[in-house]
C-alpha cells in the first residue's frame, strides 16, 4: 500500500457560526453534542482513510492548545506546524509539503471543518484517487450534488483518466441560483470539497511553477523553522511575506495535472447555521434541537443550547443559538447576517466576538463561570503532572478552592498541598504557582477580585512553555 499521510488544515475562524464560533474558538472545535467536534471527526476520518497513519496538522498559532487537547483525548500523536496567522490553503499546504518532502509520501489534504456521513465511501474514494496521484496528478474530490446549492464552488468533469478519475475541465465560483440550476441539470458538475490527494513533490513542483512567490516565502520559512516543544514554528517574517491565496487560485486553475474523483456521499462544509439545520436530525415538525431545548407548537426551527435551558413556543423557521455569554436569534433565511453582528462587536471591542468562555492552555483549561464589576469566577482544570507559570498580578487578588484532585500551591514563600474543599488566598502582587502532582485532573474554582481582571495582567516570572 502506498504511504499516505493525512494533512489536516486548521486555520479558519468561522464567524458565520457566532456565538458558538469565535476568533479564538473556531467552528472546528465547537461542541456538536456529546463532546463531538468537527476537528475530532476529521482526525477519525483521516486515520481511518490512511490505515491509522499519524497526521500532520497545520494550524493557526492561536488554536495550538485546542489541537493538543483533541489529540490527547484520542491518544493520538501528530506533527503540529504553526502558522503565525492564516495565509489561506496554498501556503498552509506548502508548509506540510516541505515538512514531508524527505520521504515524499502522498498527502491527503483535509479541512478540519467539514462533515461526511458516509466515511466508508470516502475511504474507498481515497484508494481510488491513489492511482492518479501516483502518476503525478493532483487528485481533488468532487461531491455529486443533490441540490442547486449557491453556497459551494463547483467543478466540471472532463475527459476520463481511468480508475474512476477525470480531468477537471473548469472551476466555477459560487454561482447564482439560475446558474446552479443549469449546472445541476447538465449533470457533469460536482461540488468542490476542498479535499485533495497528491504527492508532496508534485505540489511543490506545481507551486514553484505557478506561484513562485508563495513557494519561495514558504521554503524560507521552513528552512529557518524553530522547534517549540510539541510544535514546529516556521519563521514568522518569512511566512508572512507569502501572499495569502487558496490552492484553487494558486495552482488548480492553472495546472494541467488536476484530476477529479467524484464521490456520492453526504457532505457539508457547515458554513452557516442553515447548513447545520439541513444536516441535523429533524423531528416530526421539522425542528432540529441540540442540547437542553423544550419546544411547544414549533416548526422548522434550529435551536441549539448546550449551556442553559432554551424554551420556544409558537415559533417557525427561526434559528436560536445560546451560549453562556450570548444568544443569537434570527429567521433561518437571514442567519448569514450574523456577520454584521460580529463586525459591530469587533468595532466596540466586545470580548464575546473573540473569546469563548472555555479556553485551553498547555497545562489544561479554564472556563469563565461568572463575570461582573470587580469580580470573575473561573473553573480551572490542570492536567496530571502539569503546572501553571510562576506569576503575579498587579490589580487582582484570587481565592482558590479545590473541587477535586490534589493541588500543590506556591503562595509567596509558602508551598502546600491542598485537597478537596480546601482553599487559599493569593494577595495582589504575590508570586504564586499552581501544580497538579496527582494522577487525575485537578479541578478548582478561582474567584478573582480587583480593579482590573484582564488576562494581560499576568506577569510570568517562570514558565515551562516559553510564554512571555
- What count of other Cβ atoms lies within 10 Å of the Cβ of residue 358? 17
pLDDT of the residue at 14: 65
Q: Which residues pair with 6 in a beta bridge?
A: 108
Extract the residue ranges of the chain whose pLDDT is less than 50: 1
In this structure, are 264 and 285 located in the same domain?
no
> Residue 198 domain-assigned?
yes
pTM score, whole prediction? 0.82
> Residue 273 domain-assigned?
no
> Residue 352 domain-assigned?
no
173 CB-near residues (< 8 Å, 6+ apart): 153
In this structure, are 228 and 321 located in the same domain?
no
Q: Are strands 231-233 and 79-83 parallel, antiparallel or unpaired?
A: parallel
The grid coordinates of residue 396 equal 487582582
> Based on the structure, what is the number of domains in the chain?
3
In this structure, are 239 and 285 located in the same domain?
no
- Among residues 347, 370, 402, which one ends one of the domains? 347
> Residue 467 domain-assigned?
no
pLDDT of the residue at 37: 87
In this structure, are 60 and 125 located in the same domain?
yes
> Residue 72 domain-assigned?
yes
The grid coordinates of residue 226 equal 524553530
Residue 420 host element (H or E): none
**Cβ(275)–Cβ(269) below 8 Å:** yes
In this structure, are 183 and 250 located in the same domain?
yes
In this structure, are 294 and 233 located in the same domain?
no
In this structure, are 205 and 295 located in the same domain?
no
> Residue 291 domain-assigned?
yes
One DSSP character per residue, 289-330 reads: EEEEEEEES-BS-EEEEEEEEEEEES-BSEEEEE-SS-EEEE
In this structure, are 312 and 441 located in the same domain?
no
- Residue 442 domain boundaries: 362-462
DSSP for residue 173: P
> Residue 354 domain-assigned?
no
> Residue 276 domain-assigned?
no
Residue-wise pLDDT for 79-90, tens only, equals 999 998 889 999
Q: Which residues pair with 115 in a beta bridge?
A: 268
**Cβ(334)–Cβ(272) below 8 Å:** no
In this structure, are 16 and 136 located in the same domain?
yes
CA distance 293 to 302: 10
**Cβ(55)–Cβ(47) below 8 Å:** yes
Residue-wise pLDDT for 262-306, tens only, equals 999 988 888 889 988 988 899 999 999 998 999 999 999 999 997
- What count of other Cβ atoms lies within 10 Å of the Cβ of residue 371? 15
In this structure, are 208 and 263 located in the same domain?
yes
Q: Where are the beta strands (DSSP E) in 174-331?
A: 189-199, 226-228, 231-233, 258-263, 267-268, 288-296, 302-313, 318-322, 327-331
- What count of other Cβ atoms lies within 10 Å of the Cβ of residue 1? 7
The CATH number of the domain where 162 resides is what?
3.90.550.10
Question: Whose CA is closest to 143, among 163, 115, 108, 162?
Answer: 115
- Among residues 298, 315, 347, which one ends one of the domains? 347
The CATH number of the domain where 446 resides is what?
2.60.120.10
The grid coordinates of residue 312 equal 420556544
- Among residues 244, 268, 292, which one ends one of the domains? 268
CA distance 321 to 323: 7
In this structure, are 48 and 134 located in the same domain?
yes
In this structure, are 256 and 310 located in the same domain?
no
Rounded to 5 degrees, what are φ and ψ at 18?
-65, 145
pLDDT of the residue at 1: 46
Amino acid at each position: 500500500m502506498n504511504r499516505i499521510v493525512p494533512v489536516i488544515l486548521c486555520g479558519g475562524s468561522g464567524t458565520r457560526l457566532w456565538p458558538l464560533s469565535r476568533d479564538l474558538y473556531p467552528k472546528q472545535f465547537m461542541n456538536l453534542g456529546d463532546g463531538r467536534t468537527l476537528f475530532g471527526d476529521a482526525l477519525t476520518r483521516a486515520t481511518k482513510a490512511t490505515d491509522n497513519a499519524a497526521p500532520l496538522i497545520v494550524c493557526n498559532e492561536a488554536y495550538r492548545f485546542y489541537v493538543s487537547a483533541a489529540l490527547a483525548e484520542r491518544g493520538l500523536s501528530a506533527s503540529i506546524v504553526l502558522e503565525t496567522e492564516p495565509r489561506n490553503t496554498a501556503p498552509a499546504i506548502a508548509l506540510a509539503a516541505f515538512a514531508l518532502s524527505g520521504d515524499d509520501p502522498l498527502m491527503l489534504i483535509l479541512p478540519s471543518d467539514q462533515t461526511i456521513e458516509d466515511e466508508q465511501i470516502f475511504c474507498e474514494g481515497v484508494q481510488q484517487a491513489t492511482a492518479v496521484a501516483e502518476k503525478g496528478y493532483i487528485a481533488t474530490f468532487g461531491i455529486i450534488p443533490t441540490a442547486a446549492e449557491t453556497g459551494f464552488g463547483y467543478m466540471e468533469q472532463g475527459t476520463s483518466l481511468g480508475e474512476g478519475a477525470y480531468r477537471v475541465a473548469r472551476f466555477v465560483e459560487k454561482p447564482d441560483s439560475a446558474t446552479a440550476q443549469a449546472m445541476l441539470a447538465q449533470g457533469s458538475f460536482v461540488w468542490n470539497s476542498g479535499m485533495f490527494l497528491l504527492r508532496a513533490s508534485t505540489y511543490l513542483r506545481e507551486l514553484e511553477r505557478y506561484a513562485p512567490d508563495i513557494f519561495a516565502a514558504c521554503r524560507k520559512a521552513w528552512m529557518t523553522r524553530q522547534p517549540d516543544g510539541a510544535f514546529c514554528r516556521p519563521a514568522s517574517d518569512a511566512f508572512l511575506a507569502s501572499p495569502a491565496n487558496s490552492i484553487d487560485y494558486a495552482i488548480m486553475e492553472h495546472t494541467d495535472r488536476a484530476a477529479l474523483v467524484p464521490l456520492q456521499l453526504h457532505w457539508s462544509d457547515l458554513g452557516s447555521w442553515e447548513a447545520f439545520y439541513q444536516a441535523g436530525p429533524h423531528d416530526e415538525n421539522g425542528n432540529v434541537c441540540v442540547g437542553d431545548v423544550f419546544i411547544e407548537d414549533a416548526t422548522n426551527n434550529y435551536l441549539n443550547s448546550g449551556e442553559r435551558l432554551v424554551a420556544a413556543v409558537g415559533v417557525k423557521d427561526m434559528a436560536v443559538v445560546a451560549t453562556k455569554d450570548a444568544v443569537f436569534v434570527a429567521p433561518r433565511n437571514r442567519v448569514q447576517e450574523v456577520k454584521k453582528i460580529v463586525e459591530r462587536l469587533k468595532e466596540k471591542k466586545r470580548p464575546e466576538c473573540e473569546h469563548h468562555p472555555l479556553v485551553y492552555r498547555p497545562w489544561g483549561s479554564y472556563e469563565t463561570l461568572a463575570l461582573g464589576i470587580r469580580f470573575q469566577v473561573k473553573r480551572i482544570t490542570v492536567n496530571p503532572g502539569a503546572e501553571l507559570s510562576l506569576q503575579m498580578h498587579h490589580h487582582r487578588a484570587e481565592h482558590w478552592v479545590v473541587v477535586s484532585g490534589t493541588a500543590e500551591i506556591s503562595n509567596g514563600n509558602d508551598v502546600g498541598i491542598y485537597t478537596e474543599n480546601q482553599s487559599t488566598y493569593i494577595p495582589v502582587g504575590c508570586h504564586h504557582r499552581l501544580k497538579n502532582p496527582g494522577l487525575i485532573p485537578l479541578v478548582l474554582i478561582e474567584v478573582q477580585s480587583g480593579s482590573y481582571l484582564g488576562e494581560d495582567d499576568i506577569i510570568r516570572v517562570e514558565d515551562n512553555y516559553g510564554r512571555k
